[in-house]
Structure 1
């Protein structure tokens, strides 16, 4: 298949996954308000940090208010990680490459685009926000299921899986890194009376990935930092765990030509992940380790792009 087609469907898949991830994060952060004790507030700026949109927010994320963050995360066209930006990019990539996918795929993406355009204003109010975000999650899952059930398992489908799983791995690492330390305010760290609510924090991290029930089946113990981090990074069976996503990537890459360099980089990242001792890292060094994982995930994308996509055109200044 053509390199430009492969690149566009890869990014279409990443942007659709980004839509679902953003919807999950906002939904869970909103629901967290109902679980926290009186006097403990939700840090809304955390959502900006997790999404990587701090450079575009132009405000102090530590003191960001709910309404400003909601506008930024849902409807700000200058934010490449907002819901409206992600679905716009996904729609454009799908429109250009619609001949390689079932026609229902573009129709579904287009319907979601217009649904968001017409209903985004409802997202600033908590009462309406849940309905909007659940609709986004449901339609992206429908998109994923329709591809799995209706599209030939060819090279195009492999690039779609590549984009989806790389985006998932990146978002899971971001949630653990930023969400675990900042969804509850710094008062949690400074005031030992808040310590009993640590499990609420970790439950919200799991629920943002729809992993709470699967975690409880896998780990027969109370929700705690060490087990949650190990589960979300090293479990090979949970679809949103980093190790599972990297395993899916390896399977996709093995089906594509000229894959030696990508497989080598993937094997190196998976080796580092499997040998990580989170028992030690939880106490000291977890943030630096996750930063390294995110850099390695970015390197996978760079190798994928260099192997199968068109080189970037250098524009003379």
Structure 2
């Protein structure tokens, strides 16, 4: 497979996964704000914190109000983590490799981008937001199933898995970091009655509430949730499961020694701690380490399998 094609497939997968994740966290945050009293509700800034794009946001918006944050996360094409930017970038990557993906998948992605752009103003309203985001998530889930069920499971499919699950691991660590460390301060004892709501929101951000209850069979609590989302090997959105899937795909690819070595270091770091024993500050530092590992693994993947783009024609692919 040409390295250019492999890179396009990898980024197609990452951008599609990014759009779905962003749609999910916006939906969950809106529901969370209805569950918590106004005095302690986190507002909308934590969603920008999750993307790590605060500097860009503050260059173009005056405050972290609901409408501003929603515009930034859903429809601001200057932001590589926005839904519209992600879908457009995925569409462009897919357009250049249409021979490698099923025609139906290309058509679905193209239709989804056009719908997301045309219905953007409706999606930014309180009344239209839920159906807009639900359509995006369901369409991407359909596309994912279509690729799994109809695409050749060859090297191209392996790069789809590497991109999807590395992006998913990245988003899972971001959600855990912001939601667990910033939502309800540990020292605020008067807020402890709302702790369960906090951790339920973390699980729901990753569509993991039902899976958690079935797997852990205990009430929702900090240590168990952190272990489940970071280290559980059977939950598809846990960091551990994502890394296992990335490794299984990379093992099928040629010249994989460097990426597998970096991956092994990442997995050892993940398994070296008992998450529930970490304080807020220690958890934040640990998540920072995992974020560095995500970046290092991406860099090694790019160095090994993707050519450096010519300076004059470099794509603005971004980890966001």
**What is residue 196 of structure 1 aligned with on the other side?**
193
Shift of residue 60 of structure 1?
A: 10
- Say if 2:279 is the partner of 1:282: yes
Kindly provide the CA deviation profile for residues 56-107 of structure 1, in whole angstroms up to 9, marking residues without a partner as x.
Answer: 1016999611011011111111111111100010000000011111111110
**What is residue 309 of structure 1 aligned with on the other side?**
306
| Distance change (3 Å), C-alpha of 1:154 and 1:170 | same
Aligned partners of 1:3, 1:283: CA distance in 2, in Å? Answer: 42
**What is residue 261 of structure 1 aligned with on the other side?**
258
Kindly provide the CA deviation profile for residues 135-188 of structure 1, in whole angstroms up to 9, marking residues without a partner as x.
Answer: 01001101110010001100000001110000000000000001222345xxx5
- Say if 2:89 is the partner of 1:89: yes
- For the 8 Å contact 2:5–2:97, the answer to whether it is kept is yes
**What is residue 297 of structure 1 aligned with on the other side?**
294
**What is residue 15 of structure 2 aligned with on the other side?**
15
Q: How does 1:229-240 map to 2 (within 5 A)?
A: 229-240=226-237
Aligned partners of 1:136, 1:233: CA distance in 2, in Å? Answer: 26
Runs (5+) with no aligned partner, structure 1: none
Shift of residue 224 of structure 1?
A: 1.1
- For the 8 Å contact 1:48–1:61, the answer to whether it is kept is no
| Distance change (3 Å), C-alpha of 1:158 and 1:276 | same
| Distance change (3 Å), C-alpha of 1:68 and 1:236 | same
Runs (5+) with no aligned partner, structure 2: 313-320
- For the 8 Å contact 2:226–2:276, the answer to whether it is kept is no
**What is residue 29 of structure 1 aligned with on the other side?**
29
| Distance change (3 Å), C-alpha of 1:71 and 1:61 | closer
Normalising by the residue count of structure 2, what TM-score does the alignment of the two structures yield? 0.93
Shift of residue 271 of structure 1?
A: 1.4
Q: How does 1:214-253 map to 2 (within 5 A)?
A: 214-253=211-250
**What is residue 317 of structure 2 aligned with on the other side?**
none
Q: Secondary structure at the match of 1:285?
A: helix
Q: How does 1:21-100 map to 2 (within 5 A)?
A: 21-58=21-58, 64-100=64-100
